[in-house]
Copies of this chain bind each other. A is one copy, B any other.
Amino acid sequence: MNDRRPKLIGWGYEGDEISESERQMVMSRVGERFGGDFEIRRAPREDAIPLHAPHISLPADLAAFASSELRERLLHTYGKSFPDYARQFQGDFRNAPDIVAYARSEDDIAAVYDYAARSNVAVIPFGGGTSVCGGVEPAVGSGFNGTISLDLTRLDKVLEVDRTTRAARIQGGIRVPAMEAQLKPHGLTLRHFPQSMDLATLGGMIATRSGGHFATLYTHIDDLVESLRTVTPCGVLESRRLPGSGAGPSPDRLLIGSEGALGVITEAWMRLQARPTFRAGTAVLFDDVFAAAEAVRIISQAGLYPANVRLLDPREALNSGLGDGRQSVVVLAFENADHPVDASMGRALAITREFGGRFDEQSASSGSGHRSGAAEAWRNAFIRMPHYKKTLIEMGIITDTFETAITWERFPAFYEAILAATEAACLAATAHKGSVSCRFTHCYPDGPAPYFSFQARGRHGALGEQWREIKSRALDAVIEHGGTVTHHHAVGRDHMPWYRRQRAELFGAALQAVKDRLDPQGILNPGVLVPARG
């Protein structure tokens, strides 16, 4: 797996193409939704992409693990967001890094920092490269002589496994599938599966506060971190391995979410799970989305801790092949490695029934329910979705998602306001009616994390600008109505304007002070979390 090359444009690895029947399915769905003929534009061939010469030459002390090779520079220009794809389709790689370094060790990282500091070069940490918010793009302003993308995927080992405590010391650059493969012989799993899991790295997930498999309780990767080892431009910062502590503000919580702006997470002790053996799951239909939300609220406040409790609104359900476009769906699943989960499932289903939920009693009690029927359809759609994005952009369809969180008492008005604002934005930007849908990815006792998806029929050549207009208006609404600019996609460069509106100014000042202390020359991921120096 390690020698497979990630695709330059599109999701996954080279050779991973969607089937022709999937492609036809996507095109026919889009055709039904937006009507009319589509001009199909293909991504440029790699050898047809014009790329400027590097602004800086490869220094001798990095030559053993770095290069200025064209393909590496192209591969490290973008993440996986819609505007990233839109610019790739236009052959626009103007922010390509000048050098790509594949760190093999902490010494290599330190060597990159040293070079960058003495040469006034920006360093962009690059894990899985799956950022959907401009977190890995070397767009650093005019204050630097050049940029290095610091690829961490060679730090790819599980170093130590502690079965008693159920924890492992793991390198930051390992991708999720390789990590799980190395943990499996021990009967353990991190069980943190973001949609980006094929490519995502552990350190990247920690640095961006990834949201994972569990819809309740252990939602963010934050809670799975036992300790961290981070290489900053001023040296190593390592926290003590502890199950809990009350000694001052948590050091780990300062680095979790630091998005490569304070240092590179090279190792982490992670809390692991036993592989679940007891499971139950099903999907529940509701005629009213707010009744469904109430059921989810009561379940979330009941101390039941389902592994999955995802509300799909009518449009989202339809897009996932569930319901008829009027019904909402709650995908519900429980799992445990120690004891049966039927009682919890029974109680959760009883709550859904109180709010008008309907479900197949047979499937719900079979114990295999979560791998069949509606829940399985949703799961497949979830996993395949990143692969469809390229087909959509070929058709000139603008497609993106944004995710937030809001307390329960504000949810109904929030949901309606964000839908309305995003629909209005689609229309204003493209002169076509767009499609906007919502699901809950995670649920807390005090509120859900609603995840909005939108699609709009755009115009080739203007897709990036049209996208920006829609997304900006949608995020304006999120911030105005009390949400967070991101629940688990991170801030990156794209979300900075709204992040700064949401964040207390003094907290921004505190972060800047930390940045100035740990990265005094401001070389690390400039423009992320705090403004790039001019």
Evaluate whether A256 and B249 lie within 8 angstroms (CB atoms) in the complex, with A343-B343, A409-B162 already known: yes
| CB under 8 Å from chain B, chain A span 256-303 | 256-259, 271, 274, 297, 301-303
Residue numbers in B under 8 Å from A485 (CB-CB): 247
Chain B contacts of A503 at CB under 8 A?
247-248, 251
Which chain A residues numbered 183 to 220 have a C-beta less than 8 Å away from chain B? 208-211, 217, 219-220
Does chain B have a CB within 8 A of A399? no
Which of B222, B241, B449 is within 8 Å of A482, CB to CB?
B241
Closest to A278 in B: B303
**Shortest Cβ distance from A249 into chain B, in angstroms?**
4
Q: A208-B246, A254-B510, A504-B251 are in contact. Are A446 and B166 (CB under 8 A)?
A: yes
- The answer on a CB contact under 8 Å between A240 and B482 is yes
Inter-subunit contact B511/A243 (CB<8 Å): no
Shortest distance in angstroms between A221's beta carbon and chain B's nearest beta carbon? 9
Does A448 lie at the interface of the complex (its beta carbon under 8 Å from any beta carbon of B)? yes
Give the complex CA separation of A244 and B214 in angstroms.
14
What is the copy number of this chain in the assembly? 2
Complex interface: chain B residues within 8 A of A448 (CB): 243
For residue A499, CB closer than 8 A to chain B, the reply is yes
**A406-B242 in contact (CB<8A):** yes
Contact A484–B247 (Cβ < 8 Å): yes
Q: Within residues 329 to 351 of chain A, which ones have a CB less than 8 A from any CB in chain B?
A: 336-339, 343, 347
A506 contacts across to B, CB distance below 8 A: 232, 234-237, 518
User: When chains A and B are docked, how far (Å) is the Cα of A166 from the Cα of B302?
Assistant: 12
- Which residues of the other chain, B, contact A232 by a CB distance below 8 angstroms? 506
Q: Which of B244, B255, B408, B504 contacts A164 (CB 8 A)?
A: B408
Q: Evaluate contact between A517 and B507: CB separation under 8 angstroms.
A: no
Of the stretches A103-111, A172-180, A453-461, A489-497, the one at the interface is A489-497
Indicate which residue in B339, B449, B507 contacts A347 across the interface (CB closer than 8 Å).
B339
List chain B residues, Cβ under 8 A from A235: 506
When distances are taken between beta carbons in the complex, the residues of chain B under 8 Å from A244 are 219-220, 405, 442, 444, 447, 449, 484, 487
Asked if A471 is at the interface of the complex by the 8 Å CB criterion, the answer is no
Question: How many Å lie between the Cα of A242 and that of B488 in the bound state?
Answer: 13
Q: Does A469 contact B (CB under 8 A)?
A: no
Q: CB of A502 within 8 A of chain B?
A: yes
Asked if B447 and A243 sit within 8 Å, CB to CB, the answer is yes
Please tell me if A245 contacts chain B, counting CB pairs below 8 Å: yes
A486 within 8 A of B: yes
Which residues of chain B are near A446, meaning CB under 8 Å? 165-167, 226, 243, 271
Interface residues of A in 302-358 (CB under 8 A from B): 302-305, 336-339, 343, 347
Nearest Cβ on chain B to A184's Cβ, whole angstroms: 18
Does A514 reach chain B (CB closer than 8 Å)? yes
The yes or no answer to A57 lying at the interface (CB within 8 A) is no
A507: chain B residues within 8 A (beta carbon): 237, 239, 251, 254
Known A-B contacts: A249-B258, A254-B254, A302-B338. Give 6 more (CB < 8 A).
A222-B250, A235-B506, A237-B506, A250-B253, A271-B445, A303-B336
15 A-B pairs whose Cβ atoms sit less than 8 Å apart in the complex: A162-B407, A164-B297, A165-B409, A167-B446, A210-B246, A220-B244, A234-B506, A240-B484, A243-B407, A244-B442, A244-B487, A248-B257, A302-B338, A303-B336, A510-B518
